Structure 1
Amino acid sequence: MMYKAFLVKYAEIGIKGKNRHLFEKALCVQMEHALAPVDGNFQVTREMGRIYVNTEGDFDYEGAVDALTRVFGIAEICPVVILEDTGFEDLAEAVVSYVKELYPTEEKTFKVCARRANKNYPMHTME
């Protein structure tokens, strides 16, 4: 598996009031400007208070991270692996195999913190 997107977390913009969307849009524009010289196709999107940078095909991972770290207002950049939703069991199997692939010689544990944006999903958050 390879990273196919970034989740971008912002700092002070989150405490803005009814005009927060204006600051989010401005941040997205600055991110697009920063990513313009980097090899690859990038699409910056806003979804429910989150900002994602989606990629298409091969791209310069280090260059993208470096460009995003130079944008004022970004607090964290989280690489994202996108998987198709084929059910909980397939997802659990894919996550465990991914962790084993990353750390083949170590016994690692990890924690899942779930937030359900899709309330129609057949499982509840605590499940």
Structure 2
Amino acid sequence: MKIQESAEMYLETILILSKKNHQVRSIDIANELNYAKPSVSVAMKNLRENGYIEMDSDLYITLTEKGRAIAEEMYERHTLLSEWLIFLGVDKKVATEDACRIEHVLSAESFEAIKKHVHGHISN
């Protein structure tokens, strides 16, 4: 299922923050992405209504199974593409920024080909 790039970014950010903090609120996402809190609140409402996240009574955000699947896919793409670009000699900051843009537009077929190639050349 294809969702908007912004939704993918939010889901990936929730995953990353949950790995660091275990508990995630909208303000944490706003701070991490440097977005306005009202914008994040609207996005969280949309993600919740579409079944990608859940919020408890204390407003802590957790990924649903479907949200986690998308977040993990984006995180894998981001990590692998960043490492690949760094391996190719791209500055770490530039590689990270480029990977963030590429991860959302790259087809599954192209990503799998890059992944296969990278795993043959970069040891983790």
Normalization by structure 1: what TM-score?
Answer: 0.23
Question: How high is the TM-score relative to the length of structure 2?
Answer: 0.24
Q: Which structure: greater strand fraction?
A: 1
More helix by share: 2
Larger radius of gyration: 1
